[in-house]
Amino acid sequence: MTASTGTTTLSGTTAARASGRRRGAPSWLASAVLALIGLCFVVPLSWLVLASLDAEATYETQVPSSFSLANFTEILTPEQTFGPLLNSVILSGGSAVITVIAAVLAAYPLSRFNTRFNRPFLYTVLFGTCLPITAIMVPVYSLFVQLNLLDSLAATTFFMAATSLPMAIWMTKNFMDSVPVSLEEAAWVDGASAMKALWHVVVPLMRPGIGVVFIFVFIQAWGNFFVPFILLFSLENQPAAVSIFRFFGQFGTVAYGQLAAFSILYALPVIVLYVLVSRVFGGSFAMSGALKG
């Protein structure tokens, strides 16, 4: 009886080890694939950091013979960095604010009122998200010429907000659908109008979702090269996404060290915005405890 139990235990241990080996092989394979994917991100970032600290940087990833901040001091001028970054903040921040306000107003009737036009309208909005920006730039450029709006920072901001609006409406509607209608009904009973209920009840409850939409639109506008390159041609109005092109000189010469230093400074505002938004709007929806029963 004892021998039989020992044999059973031994066979069970052997089976567990075999099962562990079977599970171990895919685990090692997954780790190798993840490590390879990680290298694809680490190598370019390593070049960016090392080249920014190398006064004689090239396109190769190498440790500089002597670390220097000369690339940063060279580009920290109003014409080279501060002016373009300010233009980027105006373009991206303005586009994000306009888009979020318009998206909330557009998503509210789609979320709260069921009509036969909801689905066709949403499909039309979805079609708008699929249009490539290059397909509409020719008529947009002609319109800007006729209205004398070329090289206008404000007009470009409104156009970039309009291009981001379809996806923002989709995202905002989904976030708004998760806010219970009963909370608005309670506000209506207390005498609030639909707009008051929207701004004082619905919007505060979906602040994390609004933060997500804001960051999404801001990052899209921040990295947009094509639209500002076409509509803004003076150096004073060009954002950082376009001015970075200045580091690519004539005859194929590239200022690699300054390009890397500018790229690091270019990425900092987005990181700061992400941290601020995650702290202000962070956490889950604030609806817990708002409903009883």
Q: What is the pLDDT along the chain (293 residues), one digit of tens a residue?
A: 444 545 555 455 555 555 555 555 668 888 889 999 988 888 888 998 999 998 888 888 888 888 889 999 988 988 888 999 999 999 999 999 999 999 999 999 888 888 788 788 888 877 777 777 888 888 899 999 999 999 999 999 999 999 899 889 989 998 998 888 888 888 888 888 888 888 888 898 888 889 889 999 999 999 999 999 999 988 888 899 998 887 876 666 788 888 999 999 999 988 888 888 777 765 544 444 444 44
The alpha-helical segments, DSSP class H, found in 190-255 are 194-197, 203-205, 207-222, 226-231, 240-243
Q: What is the dihedral of CA 146, 244, 273, 285, to 10 degrees?
A: 60
- pLDDT, residue 266, reads 92
pTM: 0.79
Q: Are 79 and 276 in contact (CB under 8 A)?
A: no
Q: What are the distances in angstroms from CA 154 to CA 91, 113, 203?
A: 8, 34, 26
Write out the two tokens for 189: 């009973």
Q: What are the distances in angstroms from CA 194 to CA 139, 201, 290?
A: 38, 10, 19
